[in-house]
Structure 1
C-alpha cells in the first residue's frame, strides 16, 4: 500500500507493509525509499500519524543520501588483486579446492586467501562480500562496546547492511546500521563512523548539539570526517 503525508513543504511518500508483528517500524533507503512495516490490521490513519511523528528524522535521513556518492571500483577476483581491510591493502590469492562446497575466505600473513571449488566471478564476489560483512559486524560491535562508556543510551541492535548512500544510520527504534564497506576504512575512520551514529541515539539530526556531543567523545572528528568525504569513494569492491 502506498501512502503519503505532508511535512512542511515536503511530501513524504512511503510504502506500508503489513506483517505479523507488534510494533511499527520505519526504514529509509537510497535513493528516496521510505517503508513502514506495520502489524496486521493497523489502520492507514494510525500509520500516517506514526510517520508524521517521525517526519523530521525521515527528512534528515533522505538528506544524508546527498553526502556520499559511492562509485563502483570493480576490483576483479583474480590473483594479485588488491583489497582494502582497515585501511591496508592486501593481495588476493586464489587456491583451488574441489573438496569444498563453497569458497572460504581468510586473512593470513598479509594476504587474503580464497579457497574455492569454483572460479565463478559472481560466487567469489559474494564470498568476499560475506567475509567483509562478518568482519565488519565483529569489529563494529567491539568498538560500540568500547565507546559505550561515553554514552548513557544503548542501541537496541547493531547490524551490518548493504547501504549504497550511507556509511551508517540510526533508526527511529535506536538500531545502529552500518555499511559493510566501512570495514575497509582505517580503524580511526571506522571509529568516527561508529561514534557519529552513537550520537544519533541522542540527536536524530545534525544540530549544533549533535556536533557538540560528538566533539566531547572525539575532539578531532572534523579531520576524520574530511578524510571520509575525500576518500570514501575508494572503499568498495
Structure 2
C-alpha cells in the first residue's frame, strides 16, 4: 500500500505524491479531486514533472469532469423523512424518543434517537461498518472460489478517497461507504481488490482477471464514476 509523503505543486497543478514499490509512475484523480502521483522511491522530481506536463490536458479534462460530477453531491440532514442509502436503496429516517440503541433499522426504516442527532454521523458509520463486514463474508464465499484468490484479511475502515485497497501483505480494506452501494457495484469493488492480490497494477491482465468472473464489470465501474459522489452522510 502506498504511503503519503507530501503535497507538491508543479506550475498550476497541485498534487499529492506517494511512494510505491512499482517501477513506473502513474497519475490518478482521487474521489475528492486530488491529483495523486504514485511513483517509485527515491523520487526523480524532474521526471515526475515531465510526466505531469505530458498529462496536463488529461488532468485539466479530468478535474473539469470531477467538478461536473460533484455538482450533484448530496448533503443530508438528520431530520424526519431524510433518506439514507443502504446497499443501493434509499430508506427514510425517523427520529424517536425511546429505543435501546442510538440507531436501528427495522421494517425498511432507520430510527435514530432524537437525543443523538449530534452524534448521528458516527452512529451511521458504525452501522454501515457492521453490516458491510457481515455482507462481505457472504460475497467472498461467492467470488473467492471462482478467482482462486484469498486475502490474508478483509477489513472495513475509513479509506479517505478510495473505495478499496490491497496491501503488499495481501490484506484487503474496503471503505465503510461501500455499504451504500448497490450489491452489483459492491461485488465489483470486491472483485477489483481480489484481482490486486496477483496484479498490483491496472494492467490488461488485471482487467481480464475481473472480466472472467464479471463480464459486465464496466457497468459497475461507470456507476461508481457517476454516482460515487452521492455516497455521503
Normalised to the residue count of structure 2, the TM-score between the two structures is: 0.71
User: Residue 113 of structure 1 is aligned with which of 105, 111, 133?
Assistant: 111
Distance 1:83 1:117, change over 3 A: closer
1-structure distance, mates of 2:136, 2:23? 23
Contact 2:78 2:117 in 1 (8 A): no
Q: CA deviation at 1:142?
A: 1.7
* Cα deviation code 1:25-79 (max 9, x no counterpart): xxxxxx8486xxxxxxxxxxxxxxxx8xx5218966xx45x24338663311111
User: Secondary structure, in 3 states, of the residue corresponding to 1:230?
Assistant: helix
Structure 1 or 2: larger helix share? 2
Question: Is the partner of 1:214 in helix, strand or coil?
Answer: helix
Summarize the Cα distance change of 1:170–1:58 in structure 2 as closer, same or farther, 3 Å threshold: farther
Cα–Cα, structure 1 residues 78 and 59, in superposed 2: closer, same or farther, change >3 Å?
farther
Retained in 2: the 8 A contact 1:163–1:179? yes
Measured after TM superposition, the shift of residue 126 of structure 1 is 0.8
Q: Which runs of 5+ in 2 are unaligned?
A: 7-14, 34-69
Q: Within 5 A, what are the aligned runs for 1:1-237?
A: 13=5, 32=16, 55-56=21-22, 63-64=27-28, 66-69=29-32, 73-97=74-98, 103=102, 105-114=103-112, 116=113, 118-121=115-118, 123-237=119-233
Tell me, what secondary structure is at the counterpart of 2:227? helix
Q: TM-score under structure 1 normalisation?
A: 0.70
Counterpart in 2 of 1:18?
Answer: none
Partner Cα separation in structure 2 for residue 174 and residue 75 of structure 1: 36
When residues 75 and 131 of structure 1 are mapped into structure 2, their CA distance, relative to the original with a 3 A threshold, is same
What runs of 5+ residues in structure 1 fail to find an aligned partner? Answer: 1-11, 15-30, 35-50
Query: Number of aligned pairs?
Result: 184
The 3 A distance-change label for structure 1 pair 147 and 58 is farther
Deviations 1:76-99 (A, max 9, x none): 1111110001111000012122x8
The Cα of 1:149 is off from its aligned counterpart by 0.7
